[in-house]
């Protein structure tokens, strides 16, 4: 599918602006049992740096991580859009946006994290991540036989926060996450970024999005071309096997951008 991704970028409508957006974990970075360890692959980083310098391209990352975490972990030039907490916060040079649902959400998230902590600590390999206004329970390090029971326990503990409208549950790849209860997805973040790019450049955005998780499906629907990473069922236009192929595809797209500039 690498050739297909390349061809799609070459064949995009004349005069449109190429917008390359990507998830982080499992897409630009390989997974790790410890969610604090993943870093962007060096080959993907090199391709993204080239893309960020192309005058005909806009670039962004859309992740469940916080913008501050994403920025330090990806180490990309400042002109790159960074969307964190599944798009609830978005940053670019000269502008930072936060969804109103984040205001005051830290108290509910902290209370839920405190309630979840004993259950998570009781399961070997489980990890609790407090993100300020969100809480995630990572199950990648948990034995397969124990994961279902842990998720059931997490759901039971989190249900009062859901019923009261304080938090909403989001299931991802080996993670259960609770976010502020807002009707907002990664797809909304893609639309936000595309509108901002159109306003800044005066060009019609043509978006290609890379992502590995079921939480990326909304972003796929908001993009012109979508690329699923991995083997789970997906509505994406194309599919790549893993982060190494994503890095190769980004390198090919960087070549397209360079050719377009010339």
Looking at the fold, whether 80 and 135 belong to one and the same domain comes out as no
Residue 261 has pLDDT above 90, yes or no: no
| Boundary residue ending a domain (153, 180, 207) | 180
**Residue 125 shares a structural domain with residue 32:** no
As a whole number, mean pLDDT of residues 187-205 equals 97
The domain tally of the chain equals 2
Angle, CA of 132, 177 and 117, to the nearest 5°: 70
Q: Are residues 76 and 175 in the same domain?
A: no
Domain ranges, residue 37: 2-8+15-99+184-261
pLDDT in tens, 47-63: 999 999 999 999 999 99
Q: For residue 242, what are the contacts with CB-CB under 8 A and spacing of at least 6?
A: 30, 229, 230
- Residue where a domain stops, chosen among 145, 164, 180: 180
Which has more pLDDT, 219 or 1? 219
Q: Does 170 lie in the same domain as 64?
A: no
> Is 230 buried (19+), middle (13-18) or exposed (0-12) by CB count in 10 A?
middle
CATH code at position 171: 3.30.70.1020
Residue 66 scores a pLDDT above 50: yes
Please tell me whether residues 210 and 87 are part of one structural domain.
yes
Q: Which residue has the tokens 């993009």?
A: 223
Same domain, 80 and 43: yes
Percent of the chain's residues with pLDDT above 90: 89
Global pTM reads 0.94
Q: How confident is the model at residue 262 (pLDDT cuts 50, 70, 90)?
A: very low
**pLDDT interval class at 83 (50, 70, 90):** very high
- The answer on 134 and 59 residing in a single domain is no
- Residues recognised as catalytic: 23
Domain CATH number, residue 51: 3.40.50.1000
Say what the pLDDT of residue 259 is.
55
95 and 19 within one domain:
yes
β-strand pairing of 57-62 with 17-22? parallel
* Model pLDDT for residues 95-149, shown as the tens digit of each residue: 899 999 999 999 999 999 999 999 999 999 999 999 999 999 999 999 999 999 9
- At residue 255, the pLDDT reads 84
**Does 191 lie in the same domain as 175?**
no
pLDDT one-digit tens code per residue, 2-39:
888 989 988 999 999 999 999 999 999 999 889 889 99
- Fill in the DSSP letter of residue 132: S
Average pLDDT, the chain: 94
Among 180, 201, 217, residue at a domain's last position: 180
| Statement to judge: residues 138 and 115 lie in one domain | yes
Residues 172 and 207 in one domain: no
């Amino acid at each position: 599918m690498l050739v297909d991704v390349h061809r799609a970028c070459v064949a995009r409508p004349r005069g449109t602006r190429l917008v390359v957006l990507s998830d982080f974990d499992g897409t630009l970075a390989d997974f790790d049992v410890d969610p604090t360890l993943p870093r962007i692959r060096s080959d993907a980083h090199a391709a993204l740096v080239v893309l960020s310098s192309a005058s005909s391209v806009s670039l962004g990352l859309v992740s469940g991580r916080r913008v501050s975490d994403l920025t330090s972990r990806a180490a990309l030039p400042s002109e790159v859009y960074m969307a964190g907490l599944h798009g609830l916060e978005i940053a670019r040079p000269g502008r930072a946006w936060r969804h109103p649902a984040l205001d005051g959400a830290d108290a509910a998230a902290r209370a839920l994290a405190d309630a979840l902590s004993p259950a998570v600590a009781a399961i070997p390999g489980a990890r609790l991540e407090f993100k300020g206004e969100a809480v995630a329970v990572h199950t990648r390090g948990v034995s397969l036989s124990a994961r279902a029971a842990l998720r059931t326990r997490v759901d039971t503990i989190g249900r009062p926060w859901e019923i009261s409208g304080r938090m909403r549950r989001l299931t991802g790849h080996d993670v259960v996450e609770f976010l502020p209860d807002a009707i907002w997805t990664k797809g909304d973040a893609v639309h936000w970024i595309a509108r901002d790019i159109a306003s800044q450049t005066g060009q019609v955005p043509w978006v290609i999005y890379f992502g590995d998780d079921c939480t990326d499906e909304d972003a796929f629907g908001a993009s012109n071309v979508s690329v699923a990473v991995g083997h789970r069922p997906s509505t994406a236009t194309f599919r790549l096997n893993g982060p190494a192929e994503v890095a190769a595809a980004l390198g090919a797209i960087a070549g397209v951008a360079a050719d377009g500039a010339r």
